[in-house]
Every structure is written in structure tokens, then in C-alpha cells.
Amino acid sequence: MAGDDLRHIADVDRVIHEPARLLIVALLSAVREADFVFLQRQTGLTKGNLSSHLTRLEQAGYLRIDKGFRGKIPQTVCSLAPEGRAAFKTYRAQMRRAVGGSAR
Amino acid sequence: MITQVEQAPRTAFRYSYDDGLVEIGTGLLFLTLAALFAVEGLAPAGSLPTGFSAFGLPVIVIGGMIVLGLALRAIKERLTFPRTGYVAYPRPAPARRILAGVIGAGVSLVLVLLLAARPSWQAALAALQGAALAVVWLAFSLRTGLVRMAVLGFVALGAGLVAPFAGLESSLGSALTFAVAGASALLSGALVLAHYLRTTAPSVEA
């Protein structure tokens, strides 16, 4: 029984499982969209690090990135794609089962 | 890390209150309502202002919320987004907005009918308004985890309970309740905004 629950850990989505990306996805799950400055402040990541994680999420089809300008200042706006929301929901369910299983 | 992830949605939701602008706007709206109730309460019986709240209240509440929304968005564009980033929240589903409207209208209707049936209950109107404001502030406090909103709720409740004992009934009691609730929200928002401006600076992506 515990083995079945723990097996879910091996099946978790590695794209989301990475801590920094998990935090990005968790933040974006609560909003319609947010920009780079907000994500950087909330995650505490460097610009380069955040940028590479956003690209990884975009490549996985979990994230939409719109690059534009606010006045003359560049602005990158990110939002979770429906695939990203679904993947995050699945990930949370898997982790809940795995953590609940190991706690028993 | 797990806690940080679990708290992330709440952190994102709370972000819209980090600059104190919502409280300042709400405070101004409450002070406007207080002025409306005060004019009505101080006007001689039978004069035109005595009927102000009948049509003025919906106009100020609905119009005020629309103006407030537009003003907040414009101020945040200039003040908040360049400093700590831009965030847009999902719009509530139409069914949820309709449900909120129906509940609001239902509560108002029950209140009006109760007051019409028992005019003596007008003395408790300010207390009811204070309790209603307290419930709303406490709900926001629970959702955001911001203690200052709970404090605002207790202040509004206190003002509503004090009004009848101070001999202020009906309109003047309502004026006191909304004036205290508005002033406290305005003060809280101003302090939060001052702290926010002191501790943040405009930042750019690249």
C-alpha cells in the first residue's frame, strides 16, 4: 500500500518538480498573468536563472510568455497555459498522495 | 520550500494589498457614504436631503466602485507595477458575480422590510452596518492573512456598537460608523503605502 503511494513520486512531472519552477507555477496558478519583475521579487531568483526556468516551462507548453513594452520599458508577461494548470493540479494530487502515504 | 509553495497562491492574492491603495480607496468611499448619511441626518425633517440615501446610496456604492477600480488601476500602473511588478487576477465567473449580487440585494431587501415593519429597529441599524463591515474585513483578513484587516473589522464593529449608545440613531449612527471605518481604513492604507514606497524602488527587467 505504502509502496503504491510512494511509486507516485517516481511518476511526478520533473518539469514542475524542480523547486524554482514549482514556485513559479504555484504563483502563476493564482493569477491570470504576472510580469517578470513580480516573479523575480517573489521567487528571489536572479534574472538569468528566472529567465531559463521560464523558457523551460514555455518549452514544455506550460507557460505563455508575451514580450512587450510598458511605455519604453521592456515587459515580459507570463501566464499559465491550460496544460500548465492541469499539470500543476496533477502534481499536487500526486505529492499529496505520496506525502500522505509516507506519513502513515 | 513546501510551505512557500503552499503559501504562493495566498501570497499572489495578497500582493494587491501590499501597497495600501485598496484600503485608501475603500476609506474614501466609506467617508463619502458617511458624508451622505450625515447630510441626511442633519437636514430638517421633510427637506430634500432627508431622502438622499434612498437614491444616493446605490449611486455612490456602484459608481464609487467603478471609479475606484479605474483609479486604482491607473495609480498602480504608475506606482506599483514599476516597483514590484504587474499582476492581473482572474475575473470571477459570471455565475459567481450574479450570486454575489443576488445575495447583496437579498440582504438589503430583508433589512429594508425589517426596518419598515419595526421602525424601532432603526436604532440598531448602525450596529448592523458595523457588523456587516466587520464580516467583510474579517473575510479579507482570513483570505490574505493580513491582521490589519481584522483590526479594521473590529474598529468598524466597535463604531457601529457605540453609535446607538452615543444617542446617534439611524442616519447619524450610520454616518459615525462609516466615518470611523473610513478614517481607519484611510489611515491604515496611508501607513502601508508610506512603508511600501520607503522599502521599494522602481526596477526594470533588463
Best of B2, B4, B89 to disrupt the A interface (most A CBs within 10 Å) is: B4
The cell 516551462 sits on which residue? Answer: A57
Cell of B157: 464593529
pLDDT for B110 equals 81
Looking only at the bridges linking them, the beta strands covering A63-70 and B87-88 are unpaired
Residues 28-57 of A with CB under 8 A from B: 28-42, 47
At A93, which CATH number?
1.10.10.10
Here the ipTM equals 0.85
The CA distance from A4 to the nearest CA of chain B, in Å, is 22
Confidence band of A5 (pLDDT split at 50, 70, 90) = low
Confidence band of B53 (pLDDT split at 50, 70, 90) = low
B120 residue type, one letter: S
Range of the domain at B173: 2-199
pLDDT for B1 equals 59
- Contact B4/A23, CB-based, under 8 Å? yes
Using alpha carbons, list the distances in angstroms from residue A91 to A3, A33, B3: 18, 21, 16
Q: Does residue A34 fall inside a structural domain? A: yes
B105 residue type, one letter: A
pLDDT in tens, A9-58: 777 888 998 999 999 999 999 999 999 999 999 999 999 999 999 999 99
Q: Please give the tally of structural domains in chain B.
A: 1
pLDDT in tens, A61-101: 999 999 998 888 889 999 999 999 999 999 988 888 877 65
Q: Does residue B143 fall inside a structural domain? A: yes
Range of the domain at A81: 2-99
Q: Got the DSSP string for A25-68? A: HHHHHTSSEEEHHHHHHHH---HHHHHHHHHHHHHTTSEEEEEE
pLDDT for A34 equals 96
Q: Please give the tally of structural domains in chain A.
A: 1
pLDDT in tens, B70-107: 999 999 999 999 999 999 998 888 888 888 888 877 87
Q: Does residue A104 fall inside a structural domain? A: no
Q: Does residue B205 fall inside a structural domain? A: no
> What is this structure's pTM?
0.83
Confidence band of B127 (pLDDT split at 50, 70, 90) = confident
A32/B88 Cα distance (integer angstroms) = 5
- Contact B88/A34, CB-based, under 8 Å? yes
Long-range contacts of A79-84 (CB under 8 A, 24+ apart): A79/A28, A79/A31, A79/A32, A79/A33, A79/A34, A80/A25, A80/A28, A80/A29, A84/A25, A84/A28, A84/A57, A84/A60
Average pLDDT, chain B: 87
